[in-house]
Amino acid sequence: MMRKLIIITMAILLLVLVSSKISAEGNTTKLTLSEAIEMARSQSVDAVVARGELKSAYWEYITYQADLLPELTFEGTLPQYNKSYSSYQQDDGSYKFIRNNWFGMNGALNVNQNIWLTGGSLSLTSSLDYIKTDGMKNFMSVPVSLTLNQPIFGVNNYKWKRRIQPIKFREAKAAFISATEEVTMKTIQYFFNLLLARENVNIAKQNLQNATHLYEIAEARRKMGQVSESDLLQLKLSALNAQSTLTDNESSLNSNLFQLQTFLNISDSTKIELQIPQNMPSMSIRYADVLDKALENNSFALNIRRRQLESDYAVATAKGNLRSIKLTATVGYGGISNDKMRYAYNDLKNNAIISVGFSIPLVDWGKRRGEVKVAESNREVTESKLRQEQQTFNQNIFLLVEHFNNQGKQVSIATEADSIAQKRYKTSIETFMIGKINTLDLNNAQVNKDESRQKNINELFYYWYYYYQLRSLTLWDFVKNTNIDADFENIIKKKM
């Protein structure tokens, strides 16, 4: 009976251990660089912000387009009742108070259309008014009325918006794609930070293991008089330093792991096992090609054009404010009835109202002229800044192309140096164990091994970083040799 109980207990413990191992493995995610990039583009906070900015620009553009289309509105007062006293001027100029007691309703159907070519507006109106007072009904109809409002000599806001808004929306779309590529660059940085931190931990563990093993061997050889006291103490110190380095590197590993988990918006309980990217696209890129693609696709070129137009718009607005003249003209038909509503549509009379209003400053002490000069000066400053930004943009692209074309060679050199340093360190350990080199030579080989491994990962990081930075600036896929585009319609429809 006791034996059966022991067997059952051991079986339960074994089942618990196996399930715990499966659970632990289930929380570990193997992640390649391309998979991390896809996750960041879809669920990182930066990606959500980029989509939000795109949606904001989209609805601003939709609002601008709607402003150029006819607008149908219905206005009315249903009902209006007035029972009060009011003043009334008699024929002799004197005033007296009279009693009001009436009930009324009115409604109007309006079609409004902004005219982008002239900057004016056109309204088509149909209205009906009804008043009942002292038992008498009164109707007034305006079956059709056409009103034109047209500023003269002023700035045509619709015309300028028609030039600026499409460029602004194209700039927003290009900026969204660039922002997506910048999310990729951030992902690469976090990915390689964690990769390097993991390699540093592995290096520290191996160094600690080697230092402990060498110290134990040296301690035995010291008893035989084959190792000096100074070398033995140096090996002991190396083992302690390796243990301290391991503790620091493990802390750095946890910190970088948390940063990547937070950026990718995944649970902090999920362990990530990174795969070192190996398949690098082999290519050489010409500066002229990159510059052409950047000027063609990047939001920077559109940003320059938009800012130029906005500075011109500011000057035109200031000049238009020097004087203000507005033409208003209304033509239509109207009728009245004291009995039934349908009679108000009989015997219609012509209605015509034409007015020209103007505002011309006689003495403003140079205020409006000053505003024009300010706008023109701001335009000149903007043009100078744009030229400077263009030069900086071109220079940054040139340097980036040089860095990228050089980086492939740097990766190859760093990979070979890493392999050589690993072999040298292994040989140094064997040579030290037979007493052919001292601890200083061994430590030097270890430092070179660690630095070569770190440099190899860093050079690999810079290759991918430069590559995606080029994609971000040009919005061009150099592997597929096509433009980088996005399904903007689905992106805008997608919830945040």
Q: What is the DSSP track for 436-489?
A: SS-HHHHHHHHHHHHHHHHHHHHHHHHHHHHHHHHHHHH-EETTTTEE----HH
Mean pLDDT confidence for 223-250: 82
Instruction: Check if the beta carbon of residue 125 is closer than 8 Å to that of residue 147.
Output: yes
Instruction: Check if the beta carbon of residue 43 is closer than 8 Å to that of residue 264.
Output: yes
Q: Strands (DSSP E) along 153-219, which ranges? A: none
Mean pLDDT confidence for 190-204: 92
- What pLDDT, on a 0 to 100 scale, did the predictor assign at position 9? 44
**Does residue 236 register a pLDDT over 90?**
no
- What pLDDT, on a 0 to 100 scale, did the predictor assign at position 433? 76
**Does residue 439 register a pLDDT over 80?**
no
123 beta partners: 112, 147
Q: Any idea which of 13-27, 106-120, 149-163, 429-443 has the lowest mean pLDDT?
A: 13-27
pLDDT bracket for residue 226 (50, 70, 90): low
Span 294-333, pLDDT tens digits? 999 999 989 999 999 999 999 998 988 888 888 899 998 9
- What pLDDT, on a 0 to 100 scale, did the predictor assign at position 438? 77
- What pLDDT, on a 0 to 100 scale, did the predictor assign at position 8? 44
Between 128 and 495, residue with greater pLDDT: 128
- What pLDDT, on a 0 to 100 scale, did the predictor assign at position 185? 92
**Does residue 7 register a pLDDT over 70?**
no
| Residues 6 or more apart in contact with residue 178 via CB below 8 angstroms | 298, 299, 472, 473, 475
Mean per-residue pLDDT over the chain, rounded = 86
| Residues 6 or more apart in contact with residue 148 via CB below 8 angstroms | 120, 121, 122, 123, 327, 328, 329, 330
pTM: 0.77
Instruction: Check if the beta carbon of residue 120 is closer than 8 Å to that of residue 322.
Output: no
Mean pLDDT confidence for 397-422: 94
The 10 Å CB-count burial string (b at 16+, else e) for 123-144 is bbbebbbbbbeeeeebbebbee
pLDDT bracket for residue 496 (50, 70, 90): low
Domains assigned to the chain: 30-60+162-308+380-493 (1.20.1600.10), 120-153+326-359 (2.20.200)
**Does residue 126 register a pLDDT over 70?**
yes
pLDDT bracket for residue 12 (50, 70, 90): very low
DSSP string, 259-295: HHHHHHT--TTSEEEE------------HHHHHHHHH
pLDDT bracket for residue 431 (50, 70, 90): confident
pLDDT bracket for residue 18 (50, 70, 90): very low
| H or E stretch at 182 | helix 157-223
- What pLDDT, on a 0 to 100 scale, did the predictor assign at position 225? 67
Q: Any idea which of 14-28, 72-86, 239-253, 390-404 has the lowest mean pLDDT?
A: 14-28
